[in-house]
Amino acid sequence: MICTACSCLCDDIELEDGKILNACERGYKHISEYRQNRAKNSVNGKEVDLDKAIEAAAEILKSASSPVIYGMDTITVEAQKLAIKIAEKLGGYIDDNSSFCLGEFVEAILKKEVPSATLDQVRDYAYVIIYWGTNVYRSLPRHMSKYTYYPRGAKRNRGYDEDRFLVVIDIRKSEIAKLAKKNAKFIKVENDVELVESFLKAVEGKASKYDVGGVIREMKRADFNVVFGGLGLKYGLKGNYGLFFEFIRKMNEITPLYFLPSGFHSNMRGFNETLFEIVGAVNKFSFSEKKSDKAFEFSELLRRNAIDAALIIGTDPVSSLPYDVSRNLMAVKKITIDPKNTLTASISEVSIRSALSGIESGGEMVRSDGVRQKLRPIEKTEYDDVYILKKILEGL
Ligand code: SF4
């Protein structure tokens, strides 16, 4: 089966005699505990059957004057398409976690502003591997062992200590930074913008604040190098994405350097790609104003009390957003569709229990590098996100 606990979407998980093989600790927990803490179908705290919950959800959305659809990063592409249709039909807002995660990075790749590659190509060809502002040991546990640093690849078959050069850029010595010893470099960054400027200067052979000349020299030795950008890079750039992408493009004038986002949610890229295909934007989109804007980010909508209903799918904003933002949810009519009984589900006017994508329902998800994966569920339930969203759409 394919594990859907993070955007690695590992496709080598085996179930044998009740054992789960090849999964990391997070994946193991995700699969072995999928029956625990399940959501219930309820309306105003009272348990109801699925049809009643769906009916109540459609009523709330129909009578809302400013609804938002939010989340969707852990559901399948098929379900994401239906959620987008609901937002379109309502003339509402639609947003996912990528607006405060790595949406800008995915957008740049989709718009072909930076060259990107697949994780399989990284495994087979990459020499210099840069992790910038991301600790994949915690966020994507098998990233290094399955796709990047450790595995032997078609052209990198002598092992990581000879055939890879690891660069970790972070504000502190994270777990992966501690690996940077032989054939590797750890750069402790205080200012990401200055570090990008240092790289740009070093490309031109000029002196720079950060000592990055050695990294440039290593990259020049190879015909495939990659930089993985995470949340630390996104926030460290303080909006200077253009400067960072210019560095990638400049590097490519002298040696190939590919860029990949290093984000966590299993199908965030799927949502970004699906919305991009339909409206030309990856997130924070208003169907009534027909544009994407910072003001349409879910947290901004809440901050401004700009919404009166929210359809929240497969995410838990009460747990993940700052309290001064999430408390404004109390004034909003909430419908939560989630396999698990999250905090958000527990305070929602309507809670709908869905199937766990990849375990109880099939469909397609998109890995962080854009590779599409067909899920192989171990059991099937009729009442998955696609069924529920189709029924809500029909009820509008
Ligand atoms: S790395 Fe991610 S997808 Fe792979 S087994 Fe672990 S949690 Fe699952």
27 lines ligand 1 (CB under 6 A): yes
Q: What is the mean pLDDT of the chain?
A: 96
Segment 103-122 shows an average pLDDT of: 97
Q: How far is CA 396 from CA 33, 81, 364, 380, in A?
A: 35, 16, 26, 27
Q: How far is CA 69 from CA 33, 88, 143, 182, 270, in A?
A: 28, 10, 30, 48, 16
Checking if the pLDDT of 97 tops 90, the result is: yes
pLDDT given at position 382: 79
pLDDT grade, residue 182 (50/70/90)?
A: confident
CATH number for 39-99+267-395 (one of 3.40.718.10, 3.40.50.620, 3.40.50.300, 3.40.50.740): it is 3.40.50.740
pLDDT grade, residue 96 (50/70/90)?
A: very high
Segment 193-220 shows an average pLDDT of: 93
Quote the Cα angle for 53-54-56, to 5°: 65
71 lines ligand 1 (CB under 6 A): no
Q: Is residue 355 within 8 Å of residue 361, measured between CB atoms?
A: yes
Closest CA relative to residue 350, chosen from 47, 3, 10, 33: 47
Domain boundaries, the chain: 39-99+267-395, 103-261
Domains 39-99+267-395 and 103-261 fall in the same CATH topology: no
Checking if the pLDDT of 215 tops 90, the result is: yes
What is the distance between the alpha carbons of residues 81 and 248, in angstroms, rounded to a whole number?
Answer: 32
359 lines ligand 1 (CB under 6 A): no
pLDDT grade, residue 338 (50/70/90)?
A: very high
Checking if the pLDDT of 208 tops 90, the result is: no
Closest CA relative to residue 83, chosen from 389, 334, 301: 389
pLDDT given at position 207: 84
Cα(375) to ligand 1 centroid in Å equals: 14
Which residues, listed in sequence order, are joined to residue 292 by a DSSP beta bridge? 285
What is the distance between the alpha carbons of residues 366 and 364, in angstroms, rounded to a whole number?
Answer: 7
Closest CA relative to residue 127, chosen from 216, 199, 222, 248: 222
9 lines ligand 1 (CB under 6 A): yes
Segment 333-354 shows an average pLDDT of: 97
Checking if the pLDDT of 205 tops 90, the result is: no
Q: Which atom of ligand 1 is nearest to the CA of 8?
A: 3
Checking if the pLDDT of 380 tops 90, the result is: no
Looking at domain 103-261, its CATH superfamily turns out to be: Dimethylsulfoxide Reductase, domain 2 (3.40.228.10)
Q: Is residue 134 within 8 Å of residue 234, measured between CB atoms?
A: no
What is the distance between the alpha carbons of residues 223 and 127, in angstroms, rounded to a whole number?
Answer: 8
Segment 244-271 shows an average pLDDT of: 95
- When mean pLDDT is compared across 44-53, 105-114, 156-165, 278-287, the lowest value belongs to 156-165
10 lines ligand 1 (CB under 6 A): yes
pTM of this prediction? 0.96
Q: Which of 1, 2, 3, 31 to mutate to test the pocket of ligand 1 (most atoms within 8 A of CB)?
A: 3
Q: Which of 1, 7, 9, 10 to mutate to test the pocket of ligand 1 (most atoms within 8 A of CB)?
A: 10
pLDDT given at position 263: 82
Q: Which of 4, 22, 25, 26 to mutate to test the pocket of ligand 1 (most atoms within 8 A of CB)?
A: 26
Q: Is residue 90 within 8 Å of residue 67, measured between CB atoms?
A: yes
Segment 318-327 shows an average pLDDT of: 94
